[in-house]
């Protein structure tokens, strides 16, 4: 294999998104013939111990606690902002000023005013800028766009979207930065509807009017450091929207942290003059598609599993029909095997089990041959 040119990455942040991004940078070269080989140069955070553990685990070469120093390093080509959203603006502008390419977690900033400033600066600087509304990169979502582009859905009439979680249903969940206005700015309108609105933009188009309804179901919660006291929840628990799109379609959005039983239930339905589409993140490899081109008597929503070679990204992973994520069973096997080598826990199935299976299979072929039941 021709050795790819290196591209140096710096990451700001090392929590959930820091992990997800690190995994992304690490996995690209094995599965995609990308034009660069990402070098995990430096990880940045304020909690030095946690940062060191993070860098060691994910293979970041260096650590740094002052993000301003990272941004200005000559040996960094790309900065990856995986920070909480209220910190995107200041760090982002610094990255842009330093002329680095910028891979930024969503939402881009706290306000559209901040975001506009970032966009204009990035454009002026001529850098590559990306905001990570990652669900655009599900193979099934890309297939939805492809079917729309092919004209199979026709003129669009309806978007019905939802992003439903349930982590606040328990009144004992304590206060946190996500529930305070100065750090989170808003609730699910920001962190959930931002995803669903981006998909609506991607699949339907621009929005020209918005009506919205929000609510707080539980107004006070225990403080994390002193559960005997309570703090006020400052952001909405749920946000509903009805919108008009520029192309005449109507849309609805529902974002909530109080949908009991829904953990990460991100869905859309699209209805048009020639067909319809539906998708659900909790079953993310599938797209539902109905076409009026089907004959009357054989028309219904098709359950498409977007894991064929013709589906974007799918061919980079595994053979057709092997859903994305199937490979994790192998990681689990290796993890357990290592425990067995260390003598911590035996691993099964072992060779004895391998023998058991073969005896049954052999009995099967013998029975097929003889037409008789074979007793083991």
In the complex, least distance from residue 235 CB atom to a second copy, rounded to whole angstroms: 10
Considering the rule CB under 8 A, would residue 201 count as an interface residue with a second copy? yes
Considering the rule CB under 8 A, would residue 228 count as an interface residue with a second copy? no
Please identify which residue in 13, 18, 64, 165 interacts with a second copy, judged by CB under 8 A. Answer: 165
Distance CA 246, CA 209 (A): 9
Distance CA 102, CA 93 (A): 10
Judged by beta carbon, residue 72 or residue 283, the one nearer a second copy is 283
Residue 159: helix, strand or coil by DSSP? Answer: strand
Residue 31: helix, strand or coil by DSSP? Answer: helix
Could you tell me which stretch among 40-48, 68-76, 221-229, 245-253 binds a second copy (CB under 8 A)? Answer: 245-253
375 CB neighbour count, 10 Å cutoff: 6
Please identify which residue in 43, 98, 184, 304 interacts with a second copy, judged by CB under 8 A. Answer: 304
Please identify which residue in 3, 172, 225, 228 interacts with a second copy, judged by CB under 8 A. Answer: 3
Distance CA 46, CA 156 (A): 48
Task: Tell which positions 328-347 bind a second copy, by CB under 8 A.
Answer: 328-342, 344, 347
Please identify which residue in 84, 234, 250, 315 interacts with a second copy, judged by CB under 8 A. Answer: 250
Please identify which residue in 31, 68, 226, 229 interacts with a second copy, judged by CB under 8 A. Answer: 31
Residue 188: helix, strand or coil by DSSP? Answer: helix
Judged by beta carbon, residue 226 or residue 362, the one nearer a second copy is 362
What letter does residue 108 receive in the DSSP assignment? S
Main-chain phi, psi angles of 166, to 5 degrees: -145, 20
Considering the rule CB under 8 A, would residue 320 count as an interface residue with a second copy? yes
Residue 32 tokens, joined: 């995609």
Could you tell me which stretch among 67-75, 113-121, 172-180, 221-229 binds a second copy (CB under 8 A)? Answer: 113-121
Cβ–Cβ under 8 Å, residues 159 and 274 = no
Please identify which residue in 163, 258, 268, 279 interacts with a second copy, judged by CB under 8 A. Answer: 258
Considering the rule CB under 8 A, would residue 124 count as an interface residue with a second copy? no
Task: Tell which positions 274-303 bind a second copy, by CB under 8 A.
Answer: 274-276, 281-287, 289-292, 294, 296-303
CA 241, 246, 247, 248 torsion: positive or negative? positive
176 CB neighbour count, 10 Å cutoff: 13
Task: Tell which positions 346-365 bind a second copy, by CB under 8 A.
Answer: 347-365
Task: Tell which positions 205-224 bind a second copy, by CB under 8 A.
Answer: 206-215, 217
Judged by beta carbon, residue 232 or residue 264, the one nearer a second copy is 264
Cβ–Cβ under 8 Å, residues 214 and 239 = yes
**Does the bond joining 97 to the residue before it have cis omega, within 30 degrees of 0?**
no
Question: How far, CA to CA in Å, does 171 sit from each of 175, 216, 223, 279?
Answer: 10, 12, 12, 31
Could you tell me which stretch among 40-48, 60-68, 187-195, 223-231 binds a second copy (CB under 8 A)? Answer: 187-195
Considering the rule CB under 8 A, would residue 56 count as an interface residue with a second copy? yes
Q: Round the CA-based radius of gyration of the chain to a whole number and report it.
A: 25
Considering the rule CB under 8 A, would residue 68 count as an interface residue with a second copy? no
Nearby residues of 160 by Cβ (< 8 Å), 6 or more positions away = 251, 252, 268, 269, 270
In the complex, least distance from residue 162 CB atom to a second copy, rounded to whole angstroms: 7
In the complex, least distance from residue 131 CB atom to a second copy, rounded to whole angstroms: 4
Considering the rule CB under 8 A, would residue 193 count as an interface residue with a second copy? yes
Which secondary structure element, helix H or strand E, spans residue 12, and what is its range?
strand 5-12
Judged by beta carbon, residue 70 or residue 109, the one nearer a second copy is 109
Considering the rule CB under 8 A, would residue 173 count as an interface residue with a second copy? no
Residue 343: helix, strand or coil by DSSP? Answer: coil
Could you tell me which stretch among 65-73, 154-162, 173-181, 220-228 binds a second copy (CB under 8 A)? Answer: 154-162
Judged by beta carbon, residue 126 or residue 226, the one nearer a second copy is 126
CA-closest candidate to residue 67, choices 85, 88, 40: 88
In the complex, least distance from residue 231 CB atom to a second copy, rounded to whole angstroms: 20
In the complex, least distance from residue 83 CB atom to a second copy, rounded to whole angstroms: 15
CA-closest candidate to residue 11, choices 29, 3, 34, 57: 57
């Amino acid at each position: 294999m021709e050795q790819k040119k290196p591209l140096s990455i710096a990451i700001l942040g090392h929590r959930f998104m820091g992990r997800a991004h690190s995994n992304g940078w690490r996995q690209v070269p094995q599965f995609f013939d990308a034009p660069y080989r990402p070098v995990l140069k430096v990880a940045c955070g304020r909690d030095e111990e946690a940062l060191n553990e993070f860098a060691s685990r994910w293979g970041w070469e260096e650590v740094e606690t002052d993000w301003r120093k990272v941004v200005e390093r000559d040996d960094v080509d790309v900065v990856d902002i995986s920070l909480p959203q209220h910190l995107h603006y200041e760090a982002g502008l610094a990255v842009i000023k330093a002329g680095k390419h910028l891979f930024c977690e969503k939402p881009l900033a706290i306000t559209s005013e901040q975001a506009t400033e970032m966009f204009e600066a990035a454009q002026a600087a001529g850098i590559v800028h990306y905001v990570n509304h990652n669900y655009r990169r599900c193979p099934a979502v890309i297939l939805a766009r492809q079917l729309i582009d092919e004209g199979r859905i026709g003129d669009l009439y309806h978007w019905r979207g939802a992003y439903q979680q349930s982590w606040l249903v328990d009144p004992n969940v304590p206060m946190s930065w996500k529930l305070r206005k100065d750090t989170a700015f808003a609730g699910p309108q920001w962190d959930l509807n931002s995803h669903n609105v981006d998909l609506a933009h991607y699949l339907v188009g621009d929005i020209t009017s918005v009506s919205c309804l929000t609510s707080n179901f539980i107004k006070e919660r225990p403080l994390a450091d002193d559960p005997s006291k309570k703090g006020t929840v400052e952001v909405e628990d749920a946000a509903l929207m009805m919108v008009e799109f520029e192309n005449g379609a109507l849309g609805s959005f529902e974002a909530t942290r109080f949908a009991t039983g829904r953990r990460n239930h991100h869905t859309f339905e699209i209805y048009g003059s020639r067909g319809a589409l539906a998708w659900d993140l909790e079953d993310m490899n599938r797209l539902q598609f109905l076409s009026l081109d089907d004959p009357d008597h054989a028309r219904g929503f098709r359950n498409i599993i977007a894991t064929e070679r013709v589906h974007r990204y799918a061919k980079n992973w595994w053979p057709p029909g092997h859903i994305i994520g199937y490979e994790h069973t192998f990681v689990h096997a290796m993890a357990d095997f290592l425990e067995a080598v260390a003598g911590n826990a035996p691993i099964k199935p072992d060779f004895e089990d391998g023998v058991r299976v073969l005896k049954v299979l052999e009995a099967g072929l013998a029975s097929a041959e003889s037409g008789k039941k074979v007793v083991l």
